[in-house]
Amino acid sequence: MKETMWAGRFQKQLDSEVNDFNSSISFDARMYKQDIAGSLAHVAMLAKAKILTDAECAMISEALGGILQDIESGALPFDPVAEDIHMFVEAELTARIGDVGKKLHTARSRNDQVAIDTRLYLMEAADTIIAETETLLETVLKQAEQYADTIMPGYTHLQRAQPVTFGYHLMAYANMFERDLRRLRFCRESAAVSPLGSCALAGTTYPTDRFMTAAALHCSGPCENAMDGVSDRDFVIELAAAIAMLMMHLSRFSEEIILWCSWEFRFIELDDAYSTGSSIMPQKKNPDIPELVRGKTGRAYGNLVTLLTVMKGLPLAYNKDMQEDKEAIFDSIDTVLQCLHIFTPMLSTMRVRAENMRAAAANGFINATDCADYLVGKGLPFRAAYKVTGSLVARCIGDGKTLETLPLAVYREYSPLFEEDVFAAIDMAACVEKRTSFGATSPVKVREQIALMKARLGK
Ligand code: ARG
């Protein structure tokens, strides 16, 4: 085994099982680009502040560039025995340029290094998740437009409640995803603060310029308290929370897609490319993909709870417990990206069976509220109108009729206020078109919602 960085203080080598337990390279190696970017910014600052010479800076920078290239080409494999990515890069640097390499770690600590690396990684990840969520939102908006007039039952308690349009239902999801985008952008901003130069916990005696490194790394500035800089993982938890919420929305959407695919609903059919068959039942077309998205939401929640629990009760400043943040947040990032990547095309290729939506809307007495409103329009108090309509529904069920097919004579047995125009009042399309309050389901209002959102998104 190679000599450890802290060999001066110790008489014995680390036990190899302990080394494995302690090492994070198996999962933090993915931050190699960010680690090298942080080191390049740091060394340029050290030269500008005359802590290192320009020649030393040039040597270190060039060697770091070479290491980056070699990692990317595969010429330099990660050493599984290295403690972490920071130690790996530094050891490689020293192996390549000797003692000058040892000067890189002046005026910094691994504690600020791991914090800046994680922040840079999360900034990039947030950008990717934002882009994928924008694509999803555009797809939902396009479909909402397409189905702005498609009547379906709206549900509460999973019981048919009132007629809505499919476009309206989709716009509810568009609003969720728009809020997700807002949260993700906040996370991006929250991550873009630089802890580099915080050093171990107390800052440094060297004349460093933390504003310079912050700017070079595209951060809004350096964190204002160095102890907070190395102790803070709020930005990790914030992103995990935003992802958990986005996954919750995907999971609710998935659940509805699963229901809508069932033969009980048959509102939609997923494309063959996004469905699976059964190993023994030839008739089956299973919605495995939305089921997996729903299932994977559990991981995202678990990761959030992991992170909150790891940080709970940790004294300031750095503690090794914090190394546990990476697997959790990386898993959340990987999971949500995988889900978004599959969910969007699954949605854009699904077949909508408007005729089945319409038929379901016709059979659930979902125009009963409109029937009661009709009586209110004729002067009956709402509660009385509600009771009359309830009795009519019971009668329909007994007679095997719907409100549309019940004869006017029967209506009049329950109230003399009913006239021929009741049929126009309870017509399904009319029921939808009349709901014109702000944010309501009428096609005009759905198109208004789409236009408002598009304007906000600059589309
Ligand atoms: N591998 C560590 C982590 O992920 C890096 C920082 C270690 N610092 C230390 N003093 N042990 O958190």
To the query of whether residue 218 is one of the catalytic residues in this protein, the response is no
Angle CA 295–336–311, to nearest 5: 90
Q: Which pLDDT band, with edges at 50, 70 and 90, does 10 fall under?
A: confident
Atom index in ligand 1 nearest the CA of residue 86 equals 5
For ligand 1, atom 11, which residue shows the shortest CA distance?
320
50-72 pLDDT per residue, tens? 999 999 999 999 999 999 999 99
Say if residue 6's pLDDT is above 80: no
Say if residue 270's pLDDT is above 90: yes
Using the mean position of ligand 1's atoms as its centre, give its distance from the Cα of residue 39 in Å: 16
Atom index in ligand 1 nearest the CA of residue 84 equals 1
Catalytic residue among 157, 262, 437, 442: 157
What distance in Å separates the CA atoms of residue 227 and residue 149, rounded to the nearest whole number? 57
Using the mean position of ligand 1's atoms as its centre, give its distance from the Cα of residue 22 in Å: 9
Atom index in ligand 1 nearest the CA of residue 83 equals 1
What distance in Å separates the CA atoms of residue 456 and residue 459, rounded to the nearest whole number? 8
Which whole number is the average pLDDT over 378-385? 95
Q: How many CA atoms lie less than 13 Å away from 406 in the CB half-sphere?
A: 30
The Cβ of residue 171 has, within 10 Å, a number of other Cβ atoms equal to 27
Residue 331 is predicted with a pLDDT of: 98
What distance in Å separates the CA atoms of residue 201 and residue 293, rounded to the nearest whole number? 41
Q: DSSP string of 272-329?
A: GGG-B--SS-TT--B-HHHHHHHHHHHHHHHHHHHHHHHHTTPPSS--GGGGGHHHHH
Q: Which pLDDT band, with edges at 50, 70 and 90, does 14 fall under?
A: confident
20-56 pLDDT per residue, tens? 999 999 999 999 999 999 999 999 999 999 999 999 9
Classified as helix, coil or strand, 201 is coil
Residue 2 is predicted with a pLDDT of: 61
The Cβ of residue 451 has, within 10 Å, a number of other Cβ atoms equal to 12
Looking at beta carbons, which pairs linking 58-66 to residues 24 or more positions away fall under 8 Å? Answer: 59/97, 59/100, 60/93, 60/97, 60/100, 60/101, 60/103, 60/104, 63/93, 63/96, 63/97, 63/101, 64/36, 64/39, 64/40, 64/89, 64/93, 65/40, 66/96
Q: Which of 113, 316, 320 to mutate to test the pocket of ligand 1 (most atoms within 8 A of CB)?
A: 320
Using the mean position of ligand 1's atoms as its centre, give its distance from the Cα of residue 83 in Å: 9
For residue 232, give the nearest of 105, 334, 85, 119 by alpha carbon: 119
Using the mean position of ligand 1's atoms as its centre, give its distance from the Cα of residue 320 in Å: 6
For residue 243, give the nearest of 158, 161, 168, 328 by alpha carbon: 328
Residues across the chain: 459
Q: Which residues line ligand 1 (CB under 6 A)?
A: 24, 28, 84, 110-111, 114, 318, 320, 322-323
268-284 core/surface letters (b: 16 or more CB in 10 A; e: else): bbbeeebbeeeeeeeee
Say if residue 190's pLDDT is above 70: yes
Q: Is 34 exposed, middle or buried (0-12, 13-18, 19+ CB in 10 A)?
A: buried
Catalytic residue among 16, 26, 262, 278: 278
Q: Which residues make Cβ contacts (< 8 Å) with residue 86, sequence separation at least 6?
A: 35, 110, 113, 114, 117
8 A C-beta contact, residue 25 and residue 82: yes
Residue 3 is predicted with a pLDDT of: 67
399-450 pLDDT per residue, tens? 999 999 999 999 999 999 999 999 999 999 999 999 999 999 999 999 999 9
What distance in Å separates the CA atoms of residue 33 and residue 122, rounded to the nearest whole number? 12
Residue type, 379: G
Q: Where are the beta strands (DSSP E) in 313-381?
A: 351-352
Tokens of 80: 């599984």
What distance in Å separates the CA atoms of residue 5 and residue 14, rounded to the nearest whole number? 11
For ligand 1, atom 12, which residue shows the shortest CA distance?
323
DSSP state for residue 132 in the 8-state scheme: H
Using the mean position of ligand 1's atoms as its centre, give its distance from the Cα of residue 92 in Å: 18
Residue 279 is predicted with a pLDDT of: 74
8 A C-beta contact, residue 112 and residue 52: no
To the query of whether residue 278 is one of the catalytic residues in this protein, the response is yes
325-365 pLDDT per residue, tens? 999 999 999 999 999 999 999 999 999 999 999 999 988 89
Q: DSSP string of 45-82?
A: HHHHTTSS-HHHHHHHHHHHHHHHHHHHHTSS---TTS
173-185 pLDDT per residue, tens? 999 999 999 999 9
For ligand 1, atom 2, which residue shows the shortest CA distance?
323
240-256 pLDDT per residue, tens? 999 999 999 999 999 99
Q: How many CA atoms lie less than 13 Å away from 331 in the CB half-sphere?
A: 17
For ligand 1, atom 3, which residue shows the shortest CA distance?
323
Residue 442 is predicted with a pLDDT of: 97
Atom index in ligand 1 nearest the CA of residue 326 equals 4
